[in-house]
Structure 1
Amino acid sequence: MELATVMDRLAVDEVVTEYAVAVDDGDWAAYRELFTADGRADYRSAGGIEGEAGQVAGWLAGSLEPFAMRQHLIVNRQVRFGILEHDTGDTAQVRADYLNPMRFAGDGGSGAPDLVCGGRYAFGLLRTAEGWRLRRVAVEERWRRMPERGPAAVPG
C-alpha cells in the first residue's frame, strides 16, 4: 500500500470521527463545515429528514436537544477509494456500523441511557482543495431500544 493511500485513509477516518463528535457535541457549525457545498444527509430511516447539510443540521439540533448525553460509536469502518475524472483516490465510500446511546436531560444523573440505537452509515466523501469533505451521509437505523426504567429512587 502506498503512503499516499495510508494518509488518505487516516484523513477520511478523521472526517468520520469529526462527524460523530460534531453530532454528539451539538456543534452544528462544525457539522456543516464537514460537508461539500452540495453535501446532503439522509436520516429518514431513523425517523428524520433528507436534505442539504445545513437544513439537516437544523433538524438535528432540534431533534437531539432533549438529550443531554449523546455518544456515537462508529466502528467496523470499510473504506473504498474511487476514481473521478481519471484520477485515483478523489472519492471515498465508507460503510460503518454505529451504536448510539443517549440520555434525556433531567434524568437525575443515573448514567444509564434512555435510548440506544444502532445501524449502519454510508458516507460518500470527495477530496477538495480544503481536504476530504462529506458529500453524502445516509443513516440506516437497524434497531432502537428504550431500556425499561425501574422504580424511581427515593432520596434518603
Structure 2
Amino acid sequence: MADSQTLQPLLRRLALLEDKDALATLLNRYCNTADDRKWDEFAACFIADGILGFEKWGDIVGHEKIAAAARGAEDRFQGLQHSMTNMNFDINGDEASGTCYLWFAATMDTSKPHEYHAFGGTYKFSFKRTPEGWRVARMQLKKIWAQNEDTQKDNGLS
C-alpha cells in the first residue's frame, strides 16, 4: 500500500499534467472556434475582462470587443485555419503562462485554395483558473512572417 510520501508527489504530478492538458484543450478550442467563426465561443475562451493583444490593434478588452474584432478581421475569408504548435506551459496555482507558435492561413474563395494568405508568429499567454476551468487572461501575438498578400490591408493583420 502506498504511503503519503509516495502518493503526494504522484498526485501533484497528475494535477500538473491535468492542468497542462486543460490548457492545451483551451487553446485548441480557441483555434477551432475561430475556424468555425463562432466568435462568441472564441471570446468565451477569455476571462470576462480578458485581453487580446495584437501589435497593430493594441489591446482589445472584454468578450464583446474581442468577438467583434475577430469577426471584423476574419469573416471576409471563406476558409480559415489556425494552428498552434510547440505549446509550453508554466503553472503556478490558479495562474499560468504559456507560449506557442501560430500558423494561420486563409483563403477568400475555398474553390481556389492556391490563392491564400498565411502568416505566423509567437503567442504569449497568461491564464487564470475560473469556476468554469482555465481561461485566457491575456493573449499577445507577435507576427514574424507572412506569405502572399493579404486581400485587405487595413484589417491590422498584415
TM-score (norm 2): 0.80
Distance in 2, Cα, partners of 1:35 & 1:142 = 24
Kindly tell me: are residues 98 and 39 of structure 1, through their superposed partners in 2, closer, same or farther at Cα, counting changes over 3 Å? same
Deviation per residue, 1:122-146 (Å, 9 max, x gap): 1111011111111111111111121
Residue 50 (structure 1) aligns with:
59
Residue 103 (structure 2) aligns with:
99
The answer as to 2:33 corresponding to 1:31 is no
Distance in 2, Cα, partners of 1:48 & 1:112 = 28
CA RMSD of aligned residues (A): 1.6
**How do 1:1-156 and structure 2 match up within 5 A?**
2-43=13-54, 45=55, 47-53=56-62, 54-82=64-92, 89-105=93-109, 109-146=111-148
Q: Report the structure, 1 or 2, having the larger helix content.
A: 2
What secondary structure is seen at the aligned counterpart in 1 of 2:78? strand
Alpha-carbon contact 2:122-2:142 (below 8 Å) kept = yes
Deviation at 1:91, TM superposition (A): 0.9
Residues matched between the structures, number: 137
Kindly tell me: are residues 121 and 113 of structure 1, through their superposed partners in 2, closer, same or farther at Cα, counting changes over 3 Å? farther
Distance in 2, Cα, partners of 1:48 & 1:24 = 20
Q: Percent identity?
A: 24
Consecutive unaligned residues in structure 2, runs of 5 or more: 1-9, 150-158
